[in-house]
Amino acid sequence: LGVIRRAAAEVGPGTLVGAGTVLTEEDVARAHEAGAGWMVTPALTESVAASVRAGLPVLAGALTPTEAVAARRAGADAVKLFPASLGGPAYLKALRDPFPDMPIVPVGGVDLAGAERYLAHGAVAVGVGSPLVGDAAHGGDLAALRQRVRGFVALCSAGTREDV
């Protein structure tokens, strides 16, 4: 919550800071009070309904088609396909057939090559964590982190390719 508070203060009112791994109604209230303007859940929990009631955008975690539909019906703005590494880009591609308009954000084990494939298969965004940060958060190689950041920025700047 302290990180959210500091980030929200630094970026100002024009940028929304999100809160992740939001599980309960209390988590939503505390994160919102700290300055979070949107929520991310790892599953379809009470936090989805609490976010909707609070008027906050929410990215709700789901893995199966049933969970994805339930998340959207519960008011989720988009579905966090989690953990995306279980099915990979081919799984997202398969989901696009019955759900061509569902906004899906793969999260969990998404590296640069995977991000490119997910975006090419219709992901509206990707969530990256460990494959981006690597060991840098624990005093590791900052030059390698910068290189990975450049790769993700270049991918996002270039848009998606249909031939991936």
**Average pLDDT score, the chain:** 94
Contact yes or no for 60/83 (Cβ under 8 A): no
For the chain, domains (ranges, CATH) are 1-61 (no CATH), 83-164 (3.20.20.70)
Entry pTM = 0.90
Neighbours of 4 (CB within 10 A): 20
Q: Which helix (H) or strand (E) holds 148?
A: helix 142-158
User: How much is the pLDDT for 159?
Assistant: 60
User: How much is the pLDDT for 156?
Assistant: 87
Identity (one letter) of the amino acid at 159?
Answer: G
DSSP H helices, 35-141, are 46-53, 65-73, 88-96, 112-120, 130-133
Contact yes or no for 87/69 (Cβ under 8 A): no
Ranges of residues in the chain whose predicted pLDDT is under 50 = 160-164
User: How much is the pLDDT for 114?
Assistant: 96
